[in-house]
Amino acid sequence: MRAARQVWSGVYNLILGLLTVFKHLGHKAITLQYPDERMPMFERSRGVVVLLSDPETGKLNCTACMACARICPVYAIDLERSEEPDPETKKRYPVKFEIDNTTCAFCGLCEEACNFDAIKLTGKYEFSVYDQKTLLYDRDFLQELGRDVPYEKRKKPVPKAKAAPKADPTSPKPEEPGSPKPEAKPEESPKESPGEDKPEA
């Protein structure tokens, strides 16, 4: 009797296993045909670092305040600030902005430190190259990479900006390049000379 019950239990479990496996037949595959199809990366995934541009003017959001370069734990960011502010946006901009992807740890501290929505870690992950030197991304390349990256503008914390606009020069939240307000740029001493040509490229 016991043997019969054991045999039945074995057969029953085998059939159960077969049915479980059979259920997978009609299932849609969870894998993808990689180079043809790609999994959409999550919004907060930390991949290649890019520089974001204003979608209206097409200029970099970056004001070269050096916050990211200072906080970077592996010194992957190398940037130089422009001598003169941009005549259109009345803000300074980076003349040189290089990120060394060979040392970058994708920690995301630069994104946290940035006050201007200028630098962001994206879901892009395909940056294998044959030559290690090509991993040194310059400013224009980073800008191109960031062109299609959607981002939400940070909410302006109104009371804080009103309370101490001039106390901390690196944390001015108001950032609206579409409507340039003269008092919205406390981080620079604005030497505005619109006639001067831009030192770009």
Partner 1 sequence: MFELEGIFNAVGNFLASFLGSPLLQIVSIIAVAGVVIGFLMVLALFLVWWERKLSADFQVRIGPMRTGPHGVLQTIADALKLLQKEDIVPLTADKKVFFWAPVVCFVTCFLAYICIPFGKGLIARDLNIGILYIVAITTFTVISLLMAGWASNNKYSLLGGMRSAAQIVSYEVPLSLSLLGTVMLAQSLSMVTIVQGQGGSFLHWYIWRQPLGFLLYVTAATAEVNRTPFDIPEAEQELVAGYNIEYSGMKFAMFFLAEFINMFTVCAIAATLFLGGWNPPFEFLSFIPSWVWFLGKSLFLVFILMWFRWTFPRLRVDHLMAFAWKFLLPLAFLNIIVTGFLIYLFE
Of 14 and 105, CB closest to partner 1: 14
| Phi and psi torsions of 163, nearest 5° | -70, -50
Q: Tokens 């059979």 appear where? A: 22
Question: CB 18 → partner 1: shortest distance, Å?
Answer: 5
Q: Are 184 and 174 in contact (CB under 8 A)?
A: yes
Question: CB 124 → partner 1: shortest distance, Å?
Answer: 24
Question: CB 165 → partner 1: shortest distance, Å?
Answer: 57
Of 17 and 73, CB closest to partner 1: 17
CA dist 176 → 62, 114, 116, 152, 153 (Å): 12, 15, 10, 13, 10
Q: Are 3 and 10 in contact (CB under 8 A)?
A: no
Question: CB 176 → partner 1: shortest distance, Å?
Answer: 48
Of 26 and 194, CB closest to partner 1: 26
Of 3 and 163, CB closest to partner 1: 3
Question: CB 26 → partner 1: shortest distance, Å?
Answer: 8
- Label residues 6-45 b or e (16+ Cβ within 10 Å = b): eeeeeeeeeeeeeeeeeeeeeeeeeeeeeeeeeeeeeeee
Of 27 and 162, CB closest to partner 1: 27
Q: Name beta bridge partners: 121.
A: 49
The residues binding partner 1 (CB under 8 A) are 14, 17-18, 20-22, 24-25, 27-31, 33
